[in-house]
Structure 1
């Protein structure tokens, strides 16, 4: 009877509601209204019991109950809703038991009470700090034009609010910054996580740089940090003849500067004293003396120091 409707549920079947589907739908509605399909519940016809089989059309929950109870010997007894009263509060209220907290929990509670800085300490220190004007501007209103020192704070003006005389734990005076950073870093949570956590609660100028310095100077964090990526080495090609490629740099000895030139082919060194300071003019003159003796090389390699990138050196 329902085959025209069930066929619409099959995969790769296009939807089509025709006369057959409409007829099957109406027949199903008429069948459901008759007593052959629906009937009133009868207490004399048990559905679940130790001696009765479970009907094939029983609900899935009834079938699961029957399967679980089949391993036991049991009897079912019907109790009316009036007699089936719920348990009151006193019957389920537990007896008072003395709770003994572990030492770890006591330590955590003690740590919470030992804060590195309080709101009162921040408010008191801000009154004496050099950025006291930030306190006054936040309390009243920020001016359009502020000094260069207060400009970073003016950019954060929308996030600065007053609470118990402090900046709601946001701005920390320099006196307490190290203590706050050490408290946040105590768990060694890593650079990125520490930055995110610190920005959520405190702020001051150069906050990210201070956080990076704390992590860099922590021996425990440095011991477990990721190994830097391997860099492919690019060795210099060995020259074909002497004095074709020279490497030049400066060296200091006994408060005097020396220009050092090394020939890549013969490893021949040439050293010229330049005096207390190595200027571009002195560098050019020292190289001219070397070139006048051995000739002009094909390539001169340096570290791009200020003497080598100056216009005077490029034009000479």
Structure 2
């Protein structure tokens, strides 16, 4: 291009611009290119200069960053005010350094350079070195003079480096020790050489002693013989134990010690070393507070028996969130005022819809701790359980419901999203909140087959005995494995009674028939129409609702027994009938 394009193109700010920059060990080069209508790139301006003695000691990434920043400043009359332009470089680590990396994670010299680059709307792009022949040639044959702007930039960078180094919490004597030990450390010596002269393109090409620093190579720099990662000193292995002791002075916790280390020092694995040190510190272990084991709350036996309430704020509006412990059924109410009266008003609506709970759990907010709310709980006959102040974990159900509510409130159609939540199966329970609460599936926007009536299912089932009346009444029973209907283990006559399978259901007439001891039945309680067994090892997750059949017996000496062998995924898996004589 230097030969075939002896004249510069006319600058047009409407056309795409790109800055090619490159740095050698002794010079910088840059060229401003402009794309024309035929797709070709033509030069607008060239620049080059020789590095100063101090700049020649920069790390390679610092030289590349200096080339990009200095080139942009040389072409500032063309670039300032442009919506965007690209900086092409053949140094891959420079691309994230300019585009995405936080300023605090960059080498200290690059920090000051990037501050000056903030004047431009630049975006770094990697390109192969063979495509940067113009900038590469200029960097290898630079002008022998140093411009005033270069001197100003160098002084600016030096002042920034001195400011950062003066803030390191270490004496000059200790810094000298670090410098000496760094020079003696074989692994850090290799890293110093790579940082000064450039790292290999691939980790496998590095010497083994420096591979542990390869991932951090774009953040490494050298200042006065010290190897730095960003603005933190890399401590050689011989001094790491001593530095750990200084970090842990005062016996603060892991987080505080890590924050102290992040302000000045670094080495690979420093976070783990801090954790191990504190874990083995006798003083810290003696002072460490013990955590009491969590006390699980008793599981409610039916829907809306125990509920939790909490207030949340979303997009400047306040809401009351109420959740049922049993079914996880969720209600969200907008609060125009965050007063006890407003909260009580919405709770009354919820209780009128679902019934009054036995227990309501909430935090100690002023809405729930007022005398007005105390009078409300007494009159409506429910127990209000306030949790510990400033300890939201004690009301975990409500806190989780608040997170769910905020997700719902973020949607465009809040009510549709609330319906989706209520009808989505809970993974652990294989049933939705609506099914657990109401014993049926709610109709949604998803297509679904119509549920066949249980009457037709019962009438047309091929395994129904001929002696059974086809007009038998169908009774829907929910919460079979939570409430266990009306019979529990306390109704057993003997604790060593051999128990039948937990899915066994009994149907009989109101008369108090009593099975013989040889039959594996529960004692039948008087005036109980339907009973089920609560097994000690019964899983707590509820199963789908079962159609329970109330059978008209042909004679008082016979009873019909139904077995439902069920699982939570397929519903009724097997059903069989037999008639058992009662003695």
TM-score over 0.5 (shorter chain): no
Determine which structure has the larger strand proportion and give its number: 2
Considering fraction of residues, name the structure with more helix: 1
User: Whose Rg is larger?
Assistant: 1
